[in-house]
Amino acid sequence: MSYRTLSQFLEQHGNSTPQLNNVLLGIAATCQKIDLALQQGALAGVLGSAEHENVQGETQKKLDVISNDYLIEALQNNPHVAGLASEELDEFTPAQHGGEYLVLFDPLDGSSNIDINMCVGTIFSILPSIHADAQAEDFLQAGHAQVAAGYVLYGPSTMLVLTLGQGVFAFTYDLKSQQFLLTSENIQVAADTKEFAINASNQRHWEAPVQRYIAELQAGKTGARGKDFNMRWVACMVGDIHRILCRSGIFLYPYDSKDPNKAGRLRLMYEANPMSLLIEQAGGAANTGRVRILDIQPTELHQRVPVVIGSKNEVDLVQSYHQ
């Protein structure tokens, strides 16, 4: 069977441009370098803690730093990137050239999984630039302004999942050709599901609507829903969203009272927005429990939001409980 390469796909895609193609191919090539570092693991001395914290107050892994450095270097030197922002850094980083795009990324999502050889990923979001010389406020665009979004899943096979605002497409990395090859087109998420993902250790901190929803799922056939549900939790948003794109489901990281200063756990610009665009393009839904994520007007670069995302009928039900 003959597969289209990522480059061939982008050249034929109606929503792309040569400039955007260049940025996306640069991200893909950088993720291949990250993949190689992950595969080498302990042999390359890249496992373990970097022994300092990022802007989020989280202890960084060595591969967090390595992945971040790889992406910054590639994007700073891309002629079509005006600026970039990383979950790992306090401020945005201007690029070397005044380009057409801004790129935001989580260089290594799920990095707590690194040392146990479980799946991790890279998430990226691309926005149109506003000024040739990027300014901080240029990044504060609502998620519906994204021109492209996607992730790379480093798992048993390495996969790139991408949307340019016209469907969702999956590419598998071929070791022989060293190319991402198109293996799934126009991915769709079923409106109904029997799978959910949530960090149950936070249950005592959830608001009443989420308590109610999860209790109904756990009650199974004997409860209000009249059917059994399975819980899955990867501790890596890329892994959990990928499962939903493959076989439907709902993922929740809701508001909780554990830290009242944080509206949610996940970052709007680096995680919630790109994943919401992917899921909506696949026919699913994404909200905070109260509002559509892609309509949120950001107020700061590292803003956090609650996330309820996945199969549309389940996401809508969670929102109705909040209302």
Q: Which residues are annotated as a binding site for Mg(2+)?
A: 87, 106, 108-109, 271
> Got the DSSP string for 125-140?
EEEE-SSSS--GGGG-
Q: Which residues are annotated as a binding site for substrate?
A: 109-112, 199
State which amino acid sits at residue 267: R
User: How does strand 81-86 pair with strand 101-109?
Assistant: parallel
Residues 6+ apart with CB under 8 A from 185: 167, 169
The values of phi and psi at residue 241, to 5°, are -70, -35
The encoded tokens of residue 260 equal: 């009242």
The encoded tokens of residue 37 equal: 């570092």
Task: Scan for tokens 């956090």, then name that residue.
Answer: 304
Task: Scan for tokens 């026919």, then name that residue.
Answer: 283
Contact 96, 82 (CB under 8 A): no
Half-sphere exposure of 147 (CA within 13 A, CB side): 18
Q: Which residues are annotated as a binding site?
A: 87, 106, 108-112, 199, 271
The encoded tokens of residue 138 equal: 């240029």
Task: Scan for tokens 């109606």, then name that residue.
Answer: 14
Please choose, from the candidates 25, 71, 173, the residue with its C-alpha nearest in 3D space to the C-alpha of residue 17.
Answer: 25
Contact 110, 238 (CB under 8 A): yes
Residues 6+ apart with CB under 8 A from 173: 32, 35, 157, 158, 159, 160, 179, 180, 181
